[in-house]
Structure 1
Amino acid sequence: MSTSTATPPVRPRKDRRYLPPLVFLLVLALGALAVWWKVFSDEGARDAAQAAACETAEAAPPSLDPSTVTVRVYNASDLAGKAQEVAGELTARGFVVEEVANDPTDREVTGSGEIRHGARGTDAARYLSLFLPDAGAYQDTRADARVDLVIGPEFTGLAPADQVAATLTPIASAEAAC
């Protein structure tokens, strides 16, 4: 018996299969890539949705308390008593009506009406435009926050309270998202 300490050289195995582990690693890498692609695309969509919501909230009329808005109602139509009727509706909705009269300016009003305001009354005018959505806006040089609602010849009525509330609801949710 011979005692040899040398081991025979290891021969490479001819039946070793490299392809299945490589395919497995490739599938695993593609799966990880797909997961990261989904994460980054969802983040981009979420950021775009938030940016759109913030843009909507910035462009939307502010949600004010009507008791903080002082309105003068003027009639520029041929319908007698229309300014008094609209002033009563605005008062019932919580606005502060300061004056009711015929339009004192020579400005021609077309359509359903016009909302006149100064720089300090821009937010109040945008809020009041929810109640008369077809009205045009006119910014003048007044220094206070009062707003003039001028009734035009095609005036049919103020927007219903539920329509105004429905307009303000998505705006509030958009502001919350910002």
Structure 2
Amino acid sequence: MSTTTDSPPVRRRKDRRPVPPLVFLLVLALAALGVWWKVLTDESNRAEADEAACATAEAAPPSLDPTTLSVRVFNATDRAGLAQEVAAQLQSRGFVVEEIANDPSEREVTGTGEVRHGPRGEDAARYLALFLPGAGTFLDTRATAQVDLVIGPDFTELASPEQVAATLSPIASAEAACSE
């Protein structure tokens, strides 16, 4: 005997595992982890770049007012009148030139020249060196802030005001970034 019913036969329930939702949540968690990793590494790279900019700004020559600098111009070459010519150019740019002469020291100057200064003239010397690219520096024992610009045998010309401004422009930007 067979009996028929109106309802379909009951199927046995299979144990289904929620695999697709778990995979989706795992992918979502990995994506969030990747985003946070990128944010944190970008922040550390930005902090390192800021530190490097600040170090560059600290090591860079300061932007000074030339009228506050006391400069002596010495000629260490065989070309007559070179110290007078360079001193006139420096004066036209606002520097206070106190003495113009041949180099009175026994030092041998090579290259484009040399900037001599004492401990108190460190900033002035770094600023003045911008006007004589390739010049070396010499620290002596003088107690004043006076700086000597000694012209060497490879001297051709002073840096133009535009070249000096171009050198100081990135430095000012770095200093501004460091103060924030």
TM-score, normalised on structure 1?
A: 0.90
**Matched residues in 2 for 1:13 and 1:172: separation?**
75
Alignment coverage as a number of residue pairs? 167
| Superposed structure 1 runs of 4+ greater than 4 Å apart | none
Match of 1:135?
135
**Matched residues in 2 for 1:149 and 1:93: separation?**
15
Match of 1:146?
146
- Tell me, what secondary structure is at the counterpart of 1:168? helix
The Cα of 1:69 is off from its aligned counterpart by 1.2
**Matched residues in 2 for 1:127 and 1:101: separation?**
22
Q: Deviations over 1:65-103 (max 9, x none)?
A: 111111000111111111010001001111111111111
1:45 aligns with 2:45: yes
Q: Deviations over 1:126-157 (max 9, x none)?
A: 00110001111000000000000011111111
| Equivalences for residues 59-138 of structure 1 within 5 A | 59-138=59-138
Q: Deviations over 1:15-36 (max 9, x none)?
A: 6341011011101111110111
**Matched residues in 1 for 2:15 and 2:162: separation?**
79
Q: Which amino acid aligns with 1:101?
A: A
- Tell me, what secondary structure is at the counterpart of 1:144? coil
CA separation of 1:30 and 1:144: change in aligned 2, threshold 3 A? same
TM-score, normalised on structure 2?
A: 0.89
**Matched residues in 2 for 1:136 and 1:42: separation?**
39
- Stretches of structure 2 that go unaligned for 5 or more consecutive residues are 1-11
